[in-house]
Amino acid sequence: MEIRQVGIIGAGQMGNGIAHVFALAGYDVLLTDISQDALDGARSTITRNLDRQVSRGTIDAGARDAALGRIASTLKLPDLGASDLVIEAATERETVKQAIFEDLVPHLKPETILTSNTSSISITRLAARTDRPEKFMGFHFMNPVPVMQLVELIRGIATDGPTFDACLAVVERLGKTASTAEDFPAFIVNRILIPMINEAVYALYEGVGNVRSIDTSMKLGANHPMGPLELADFIGLDTCLAIMNVLHDGLADTKYRPCPLLVKYVEAGWLGRKTKRGFYDYRGDEPVPTR
């Protein structure tokens, strides 16, 4: 099956980035969200990011304009019914994703491939709630999508070969690199990354070091481009907690217990950069540690 029309569900940070790279690679994109403000914001973000690429010389103005011309938006989920490939990039909550697929499936072509950008939820379980588990996959982009080169491809237990091959070909056309992960909680990247972040929060919680010393230690001592607490703020502390809960529930191992301090920050609504406060306070000119 040739993939030309791509439907993307969710116009947030991940959804607009996915729309950006697909349109730039020549796909026709239809982006949907429940909020017109989110769709308008996504358009502005994509335009700004494409302009940045033009200014850096990575693309020319013609490519930018062509990409923007390939992106349409809608508030109506059924409008995605004509898509050859659908990528769900909604909130990282299983009940939300299930409800989206339940509403969408009756409008899809029989051959449409369904995928989820979930960073941790079982692909097999999501697929089982649709009419096409053999045409369902995990299609996990890294954030920020236009910059990061990796895409995790996750097969559910029922995913067939042609579906996997079609998604692999898409990744290659995007100019990115695919890694294949089995359908276990949090897959590869977040199975390793998020527990490291959780352990950094434990180090903070137990007084081993403060925010600044923990981040500096990992940047200069392990050559990480961002410290783990700074990275947690960038990802979103609610997302980090959700993934730790998936690991803890799915693998039943105490080493995946979310740190109580991470829980407390999320309960306070201090979710990182998107709320202006997390392990750093972003309301001033420079980020200031909150502990």
Query: Could you tell me the two tokens for 230?
Result: 């700074």
- Whether 10 has a binding-site annotation, put simply, is yes
- Whether 274 has a binding-site annotation, put simply, is yes
Q: How far apart are CA 255 and CA 184, in angstroms?
A: 16
Q: Known catalytic residue: 152?
A: yes
- Whether 2 has a binding-site annotation, put simply, is no
Which string of DSSP letters, residue by residue, matches 112-178? PEEEE--SSS-HHHHHHTSS-GGGEEEEEE-SSTTT--EEEEEE-TT--HHHHHHHHHHHHHTT-EE
Catalytic residue among 122, 152, 198, 230: 152
Catalytic residue among 140, 198, 230, 248: 140
Q: Known catalytic residue: 119?
A: yes
- Whether 207 has a binding-site annotation, put simply, is no
Which string of DSSP letters, residue by residue, matches 222-287? S--SS-HHHHHHHH-HHHHHHHHHHHHHHH--GGGPPPHHHHHHHHTT--BGGGTBSSEE-SSSS-
- Whether 92 has a binding-site annotation, put simply, is yes
- Whether 13 has a binding-site annotation, put simply, is yes
- Whether 33 has a binding-site annotation, put simply, is yes
Closest-CA residue to 173 (of 11, 23, 29, 16): 23
**Residue pair 209/247 in contact by the 8 Å Cβ criterion:** no
- Whether 5 has a binding-site annotation, put simply, is no
Q: How far apart are CA 84 and CA 104, in angstroms?
A: 13
- Whether 236 has a binding-site annotation, put simply, is no
Catalytic residue among 83, 190, 198, 230: 190
150 strand-pairing partners = 177
Catalytic residue among 16, 49, 83, 119: 119
- Whether 35 has a binding-site annotation, put simply, is no
- Whether 213 has a binding-site annotation, put simply, is no
289 strand-pairing partners = 280
- Whether 156 has a binding-site annotation, put simply, is no
Sheet holding 177-181, edge to edge: 71-74, 28-32, 5-9, 85-88, 113-116, 136-141, 150-155, 177-181
Mark the binding-site residues for NAD(+), compressed into ranges: 10-15, 33, 92, 97, 119, 143, 274
Q: Give me the active site residues, please.
A: 119, 140, 152, 190
Mark the binding-site residues, compressed into ranges: 10-15, 33, 92, 97, 119, 143, 274
